[in-house]
Amino acid sequence: MEFKGRDIISIEDFSQQEINHILDVSKTMEPLAKTGSDMLKGKILATLFFEPSTRTRLSFETAMLKLGGNYIGFAEPDITSARKGENLADTVRTVENYADTIVLRHSLEGSAKLAADVAKVPVINGGTGAQEHPTQAFTDLYTMRKEKGKIDGLKVALVGDLRYGRTVHSLAYALALYNVELFLVSPESLRMRKDVLQTIKSKIPVTENANLEATIPKIDVLYVTRIQKERFPDAAEYAKVKGAYKIDLKTLKGAKKDMIILHPLPRVDEIAAEVDATPQAKYFQQVWNGIVVRMTLLSLVLGAVK
Ligand code: CP
């Protein structure tokens, strides 16, 4: 298992053994996330965010600061030379002179791979269009294991926008490496994209349906996603599915007492605020776990941890 210098582009590039190692190292990072460390002193992270973000960018930057490193970057491409027509490859070839690793978020599928192909430093995919968001999946798995004590044996429902939601694509690929039963709950028009479905169905039991109420009593993990309004090519199509699922206290009536609710966030209206105070709601703990996991990923790809 070699992580030093490695790009993190797709969950499909990782074995179960490698994912377990990332989760194990993350557990050892928990105390360092509280006390801080100088493990990455002198190292610089570049965050190149061509799309909006709160959690991914800020948690990577926080992770780097907690490890004693520093960061540069942008959250608004309009203030960069991309505005003058510079292409992504040239931007990456430039930034690799300034930084030891790069986190990229971009609307184009394949953009992280392209960046990794031209960069000499490790590139980490911070979200590529509707395609993948691997560091969120590591965070989700870490949260499941921390809260449920295991991943094998879990029954997990992915709910909402399974077509345009990139987090569910990465998470589904990862869960398919474990002994997990997966329920895919979405409106017909937002079903899991075919390439992902084909891969996961060949590995684990998968049920697709639109009935959340019938699914809730069966599951251990309810993973809710936002309908990705910004990715719909047609506003009328979005209007048809807007508000398709709303998790409130009534929805949760039939749930197992120890079921947990996750959400990569941001949420809009798919989880009512009244759910936040329930012991099942773990989505803000998931945010904390995102720092811990990203500390792990940075320390692994920069060779501070084996
Ligand atoms: N979960 C996630 O990717 O959140 P941001 O879009 O705020 O980074």
Domain identity same for 150 and 281: yes
- Render each residue's pLDDT in the chain as its tens digit; 306 residues: 899 999 999 999 999 999 999 999 999 999 999 999 999 999 999 999 999 999 999 999 999 999 999 999 999 999 999 999 999 999 999 999 999 999 999 999 999 999 999 999 999 999 999 999 999 999 999 999 999 999 999 999 999 999 999 999 999 999 999 999 999 999 999 999 999 999 999 999 999 998 999 999 999 999 999 999 999 988 988 999 998 899 999 999 999 999 999 999 999 999 999 999 999 999 999 999 999 999 999 999 999 999
**Within-domain flag for 197:** yes
Domain identity same for 278 and 144: yes
Q: Which atom, in ligand 1's list, is nearest to the CA of 57? A: 8
Domain identity same for 204 and 295: no
Q: Is the CB of 47 under 6 A from ligand 1?
A: no
Domain identity same for 104 and 138: no
What spacing in Å lies between the alpha carbon of 54 and ligand 1's midpoint?
6
| Separation CA 184–CA 209 (nearest Å) | 6
Question: 61 with 45: CB under 8 angstroms?
Answer: yes
Kindly name the residue from 6, 43, 133, 169 that is annotated as catalytic. 133
Kindly name the residue from 55, 145, 163, 294 that is annotated as catalytic. 55
Domain identity same for 128 and 23: yes
| Separation CA 281–CA 222 (nearest Å) | 10
Domain that holds residue 165: 134-286
Q: In what order do the strands lie in the sheet with 101-106?
A: 70-74, 44-49, 101-106, 123-128
Domain identity same for 257 and 186: yes
List CB contacts of 172: < 8 A, sequence separation 6 or more.
Answer: 158, 182, 184, 192, 196, 200
Q: Which atom, in ligand 1's list, is nearest to the CA of 56? A: 8
Domain of residue 89, CATH code: 3.40.50.1370
Q: Has 139 been annotated as catalytic?
A: no
What is the total count of domains within the chain? 2
Q: What is the pLDDT of residue 81?
A: 93
Q: What is the pLDDT of residue 1?
A: 83
Q: Is the CB of 139 under 6 A from ligand 1?
A: no
Count of C-beta atoms within a 10 Å radius of residue 12 = 15
Domain identity same for 187 and 107: no
Domain identity same for 296 and 230: no
What spacing in Å lies between the alpha carbon of 53 and ligand 1's midpoint?
5
**Within-domain flag for 306:** no
Q: Is the CB of 165 under 6 A from ligand 1?
A: no
Domain identity same for 248 and 146: yes
**Within-domain flag for 60:** yes
Q: Is the CB of 299 under 6 A from ligand 1?
A: no
